[in-house]
Structure 1
Amino acid sequence: MKKIPSKQIQLAKENEYLKIIGKAHCIDTPLISPISKRKCVYYQIKVEERSGGKNKSWHTIINEEKAVDFSIESSGEKAIVQAYSSSNYKMVHLVKDVKRESGILNDPPKFLENYLASHGKDSTGFFGFNKTMHFQEGIIEIGEEISVLGTANWKVSDHMFDKYSTQNLFISGNKTNKLLITDDPKAKV
């Protein structure tokens, strides 16, 4: 993604696969990330449990991802990123900036217990001892700088980003050209 040059929103051509670097903003109601409780437009959570026995290894027990469509602002212009779409049409890499652990002498906080319970999971094992777990969360916060690569389409929209036009740029993905979204600073270079 970093090898592709970014483009100004106003210069986007219909059906062009392009990269935009800018700040994420909410169009409607933001999401609240379950672990850090921050307002965001996208979050990914991965919870891993360490299995016991002879061959100790980590197993993913929860892999949750939620998104809402949002706008990206670059050089005073905005486009709508259609992030609330099928996972077949997008790839998202978020830096996991919140990490928590639990274990035998390390009880998880109540909100993590509640999060596990909401997914039908428990932090304690058969004898009541804490399971060894890793909790990781990555989000796109409101105002965070991100990189987006996707297919450009100009459409009539209710969102009046430009007072001189009824059309806005929508960025989306499909089977051949996936929507790529990341908050990794390395993608901007």
Structure 2
Amino acid sequence: MHQLILIGIGISIVAAIIYLIYYYSASTIILRTLKKLPYQRVGSLRTHSFSKIEGKALNIESPLNAPLSKRPCVFYKMKIEKKVKRGKSSHWKTLVYEEEIQDFFIEQNGERVVVFPKKAPQNYHEYLITDKTVRIGTFGTSSPEFIELLNAYNIESKGVFGFTKSFRYTEAIVEVGERIVVAGNIKWMDLENPIADYNYSSIASIIGSAKSKIIITDTPDAHKPKRKL
């Protein structure tokens, strides 16, 4: 009986730890914050308010290109990892982590909001879905594009006996035209120069600071629920 009680306590502690890890994870905090904010139309945005908007991401200037998939985007994160063996165990070691973002538009029903993210100092939180994963290795799938990318980063893909080492690549992007949700501090600005396909004299912007950061996510979990017919 005493042993069963100890097992029950142990299971409860493990369950509590798992719940706390989930509850305080970056992605869960972002979704929890967004859930508290109402969905706004562009015309209803007010300066100095912290507001949430959903729409299509559009590039302002030439878009970025994701390193491996080459998809046009306004934001990407990528990671290259190498499988390292130590005795009977192994783990993935990060060789390259790269994150690039640019100013971009959110378009909603023909109206636009401009988003001003900064990397240094970083003024945004993000939760992007990893939508590209590639693995190569001695007994894995070959990928000439991935090999080419490794060469571009001066990473040797072959081992001592000419076998391909084990590598893993992950990529998450905000693709041009992708539906996303962004939240942040609103500031309306007068336009000195016209914007193509935008027939308004002013535009709302989303800005962030160290204390009040922009939130950017492409997870469908943050999208406005569709009305049931």
Query: TM-score w.r.t. structure 1 length?
Result: 0.89
Alignment of 1:89-108 (within 5 A): 89-106=123-140, 108=142
Q: Which has the larger share of helix?
A: 2
Could you tell me whether the CA contact under 8 Å between 2:50 and 2:184 is conserved in 1? Answer: yes
Identical positions, percent: 32
Instruction: Using the TM superposition, give the Cα deviation of residue 23 of structure 1 relative to its aligned residue in structure 2, in angstroms.
Output: 0.6
Higher relative contact order (CA 8 A, sep 6+): 1
Alignment of 1:1-189 (within 5 A): 1-54=34-87, 55-86=89-120, 88-106=122-140, 108-157=142-191, 158-160=193-195, 162-165=198-201, 167-189=202-224
Q: Distance in 1 between matches of 2:135 and 2:223?
A: 31
Instruction: Using the TM superposition, give the Cα deviation of residue 83 of structure 1 relative to its aligned residue in structure 2, in angstroms.
Output: 3.0
Q: 3-state SS of the aligned residue for 2:129?
A: coil
Could you tell me whether the CA contact under 8 Å between 1:89 and 1:175 is conserved in 2? Answer: yes
Q: Which amino acid aligns with 2:94?
A: T
Q: Which has the larger share of strand?
A: 1
Instruction: Using the TM superposition, give the Cα deviation of residue 128 of structure 1 relative to its aligned residue in structure 2, in angstroms.
Output: 3.2
Q: Distance in 2 between matches of 1:181 and 1:143?
A: 15
Instruction: Using the TM superposition, give the Cα deviation of residue 46 of structure 1 relative to its aligned residue in structure 2, in angstroms.
Output: 1.3
Distance 1:177 1:159, change over 3 A: farther
Q: Which amino acid aligns with 1:116?
A: L
Instruction: Using the TM superposition, give the Cα deviation of residue 20 of structure 1 relative to its aligned residue in structure 2, in angstroms.
Output: 0.6
Q: Which amino acid aligns with 1:2?
A: K
Q: 3-state SS of the aligned residue for 2:90?
A: coil
Instruction: Using the TM superposition, give the Cα deviation of residue 108 of structure 1 relative to its aligned residue in structure 2, in angstroms.
Output: 4.2
Instruction: Using the TM superposition, give the Cα deviation of residue 118 of structure 1 relative to its aligned residue in structure 2, in angstroms.
Output: 2.5
Q: Distance in 1 between matches of 2:190 and 2:160?
A: 57
Could you tell me whether the CA contact under 8 Å between 2:118 and 2:124 is conserved in 1? Answer: no
Q: Which amino acid aligns with 1:185?
A: P
For the pair shown, the structure with the greater C-alpha radius of gyration is 2
Q: 3-state SS of the aligned residue for 1:117?
A: helix
Instruction: Using the TM superposition, give the Cα deviation of residue 159 of structure 1 relative to its aligned residue in structure 2, in angstroms.
Output: 4.7
Q: Which amino acid aligns with 2:146?
A: L
Distance 1:81 1:140, change over 3 A: same
**How big is each residue's C-alpha offset from its partner over 1:60-98, in whole Å with a ceiling of 9 and x where there is no partner?**
111111122110012331000113543621122211111
4+ residue segments displaced more than 4 Å: none
Q: 3-state SS of the aligned residue for 1:57?
A: strand
Q: Which shows bigger deviation, 100-109 or 140-149?
A: 100-109
